[in-house]
Structure 1
Amino acid sequence: MEEASETRHFRTLFISDVHLGSKAAKTDFLLDFLRTHEADTIILVGDIVDGWRLKRSWYWPQPCNDVVQKLLRKARKGTRIVYIPGNHDEFMREFPGVHFGGIEVAERMVYEMADGKKYLVLHGDEFDVVVRNARLLAYLGDWAYDTAIAINVVLAAVRRRLGMPYWSFSAWAKLQVKHAVNFIGEFQRVVADEARRAEVDGVICGHIHHAVMEDIDGIHYVNTGDWVESCTAIAEHSDGRLELISWGHKVGALSSPKRATRLVPVYLPSSVADVAKEDGVRAA
């Protein structure tokens, strides 16, 4: 996994939609990315942990722990890490302003880039009508997405054996459905409108697993993508310039990625007080 790759350093990294706890989460590739990319600040833009799937069936292999430990280690070494929860990890929204092992939780934030431009940073699920007003439909859609991801896994294994590059069936299928394409466009428009109301220059979000950077009526709209299909992140250079980094080619580059099979039990605290006792949580 290119352990000898030269490390790149950025002012800020924006990562979202990792979905730890889902079998589709590409934790190996995220770990590879985190080993070769450093930043002064890392902003986690929601759906880092997939609470929805963990409620249905517990799945937490060692690579999930490795990702968490890698982030905590970066925090201990001085990286500022901000966690903005999404709909799949909405349980974290109960702790705004709280620090967990050096990772601070915020509902949303306005972040100033090195060039002085200000961006509204939020997950974006609050602008998804299905998630907000029809939770049952959201769960059904999540189940359909899980099915598409399962097809992804089979196709990826076949293509890897044939020496073919990685290709995402779920991403392709999503863009073939006219309704989905229309939803993406409408989502981008309403999120850009929210940034305009906040009187900022741009917006950085996640949620729809569609990485892109584009201008929408004077607002710079940026979506971080995900670590389920495309393996993408947004990086801010020292001069404020933003770069969309795609780590998806790694999926095709690996001939036999290692997958952990041993499940590691993780005991969740029953209250914030328990967390404070165990991990030394401190209020912001």
Structure 2
Amino acid sequence: MSTPTPNRRLTAPAILSRKGGTPIVMVTAYSATMARLVDPLVDMILVGDSLAMVEHGMPSTLGVGLELMIAHGRAVVSAAQSAFVTVDLPFGAYEAGPADAFRAAARVMAETGCGAVKLEGGVHMAETIAFLTGRGIPVVAHIGLTPQAVNALGGFRSQGHDETARAKILADAAAVAEAGAFAVVVEGVVAPLGAEITEAITIPTIGIGASSACDGQVLVLEDLLGLTDRVPRFVKRYGDLGKAVSEAVGAYADEVRSRAFPAEEHTYKPRG
């Protein structure tokens, strides 16, 4: 596996310029430790509101607030040296209108040092995206299966199966691109629609359960590492760290109980 040479941090214009080029690699990270590990290998790190479930055991993304997103975002930015860091705006922080969204986004940008914010929604969020980008806040949009709208969507179900749904998602893609988003996450749509969206708009599409034709891909890091019990259909596990963690902690527990740990080399000797 090749390891890219770390360089100065990527920018929103640099990501935008990747449209139709080398696919963009994005993963989530919620801590400085994970950010430091993935930073030299990826183009973008997303501090996603999925941390509500992955890190805090909540049933959905709806329970995470602005303070929690800022805390995790600050940790990730502190460790990432080259990847472009985007932080999710949580549910309730931006939907009321452009001014509320600006206040939330400005706090996230100022207090974390991230390069952009991400928000969910298409046509109905275009005005807000334009308001933010017009005031110097780079925006990654998110369309298709939008987890913050899980109650309205009736669950975590793939989208775009009929002509009405297809037309709506295509309109969402066009709207966020026209409003000034520099990239858009396309989640949980049927593959032909993911490819159609990518062809139709001028900004990079980052797929998650969408299509290999997208301009990039994103996965939740814990899913691809094998640290979660259940994963969606679109996830490929690239490791089994859950098993490795269990084995390591089990070995530690056995040695503590048998007094094999700490051994002499793990203890301090008196001076003199």
Q: Which of these two proteins has the greater Rg computed from alpha carbons?
A: 2
Q: Considering the TM-score relative to the shorter chain, is it more than 0.5?
A: no
TM (normalized to structure 1)?
0.39
TM (normalized to structure 2)?
0.40
Greater RCO structure (CA 8 Å; 6+ sep): 1
More strand by share: 1
